[in-house]
Each structure stands twice: as structure tokens, then as C-alpha cells.
Chains A and B, each alone.
Chain A
Amino acid sequence: AQSVTQLDSQVPVFEEAPVELRCNYSSSVSVYLFWYVQYPNQGLQLLLKYLSGSTLVKGINGFEAEFNKSQTSFHLRKPSVHISDTAEYFCAVSDTGNQFYFGTGTSLTVIP
């Protein structure tokens, strides 16, 4: 089974500043990586995914992530955050068709 680590449980950042949310996973032969965002009282929304190919993945809302196989990381970045980015962010890993492993989540708070 995979394990996913999100070391930062809470990340406060000022509006228009850059942000990085960290995600590390246990190694495997091949994995598929995802970032989800959850706004209050909603389900999880897919931000971006890495399946294969280019290690730099661009997603919705200006987010991007970089897959680093040697460091088993998939950190999420945004160059300039908005108030509306305040939410819970979950990193997830899948190594088979039906099994997904979630990190513990990072609560991003954007400060005006």
C-alpha cells in the first residue's frame, strides 16, 4: 500500500504571494498523482493530475505541480494566490485502478 505525506497541516500566506504545498509519497514502480481542493461544504475537486510524460503539470486556477521521481515528491505551487484559494488541499496517489491513497491535507489560508 502507498502512503502519502503532507507535512504542512496549515499554510497561511498573504494575498498575491507565491505558495508551495508539499506532498511526498512512498516509492513504487509506477504511480499516478493527483491534487484535489475542497472548499467548505463541498466535495473534492480535481486540481491537476500526473499520469505520465512531462513532469511539470498545469492545472486549473493557475496551479501547477512538479513530479520528482528521485525525491518521490509532487509539490503544488501557485505564483500568486487569491483570497478565493483559501481551502483544504489533498494530495492523492493511485497505483492500481481502484485504490487511492490520500494525504492528511493542508489547510491554505490566504490573508488579505
Chain B
Amino acid sequence: DTEVTQTPKHLVMGMTNKKSLKCEQHMGHRAMYWYKQKAKKPPELMFVYSYEKLSINESVPSRFSPECPNSSLLNLHLHALQPEDSALYLCASSSPTRGQDNSPLHFGNGTRLTVT
């Protein structure tokens, strides 16, 4: 069982649809991440929120829009996606205490997204 919960587990959407991926953690972690992972590849960082503020945006296309409503929740809003956006989207959290840089990432099980 993972302490980071992602919904839905699977999502199929057309290129004109709007959908959202959701992530929740109750470990008190203050950093939350979105990663994209293609088959047999390592996770690619998309966004990082630190203390509910966007701290890293890895030049992700604007059709992906992150949102962090509070310290436990992280959303990824999807609009006008392309078939090449089909992938496993992973949420992760960590608890980097200010001045201490060694907390590991805790991952959810991901959302398997297929864009048709």
C-alpha cells in the first residue's frame, strides 16, 4: 500500500477533452511533484510544489496545468492533449525540512493515461 493516493488509476481521453488527475498525501510532506513516465524509462520531472508554491516547472507544455489547493492535495489539469502525452503520470511527495536536504520521494501508483 502506498501513502500517496492517485485517482483515477486509468484514464482514456480524447484530444479535445478536459480532465484532471488528483493526488493526495497525509504524511505532512511539504513538497509535491508530478512526474511523467514512458514505458521502460525513468520518471521525467514535470512540476514541483514546495510549501504550496510552484518552485519548479520543467518547461512543460501549457496543456498541462498544475494546481496545489492545500498542503495535502495536488492536481494536474489536462486540456487538448496529444497522443504522445499517453504515459504513466506519477505523483510524489517528500518532506524537505528547511536546511535539511535528504528526504526521499514517496510515490503514488500513478494514473495510466491514454490519449486517443
A98 to B104, CA, bound (A): 10
User: Provided the pairs A97-B31, A98-B31, A107-B40 are in contact, do residues A44 and B102 lie with their beta carbons within 8 angstroms?
Assistant: no
Interface readout for B34-46 with A: 1 if CB under 8 Å, 0 if not?
A: 0000001111010
A104 to B37, CA, bound (A): 11
Chain B contributes a number of interface residues (CB within 8 A of A) equal to 29
A45 to B105, CA, bound (A): 9
- Of the residues B42, B101, B112, contact of A97 by C-beta under 8 Å: B101
User: Provided the pairs A43-B2, A43-B109, A44-B90 are in contact, do residues A97 and B45 lie with their beta carbons within 8 angstroms?
Assistant: no
- List residues of chain A with CB within 8 A of the CB of B41: 104-105
Closest residue of chain A to B4, judged by CB? A43
A94 to B31, CA, bound (A): 14
Kindly count the residue-residue contacts between A and B in the assembled complex, taking CB atoms under 8 Å apart: 66
The residue in A45, A95, A100, A105 that gathers the most chain B C-beta atoms within 10 A of its C-beta is A100
- List residues of chain A with CB within 8 A of the CB of B45: 100
A34 to B48, CA, bound (A): 19
- List residues of chain B with CB within 8 A of the CB of A97: 31, 50, 94, 96, 100-101, 103
Interface positions of B (Cβ within 8 A of A)? 2, 4, 6, 31, 40-43, 45, 48, 50, 55-56, 90, 92, 94, 96, 100-110, 112
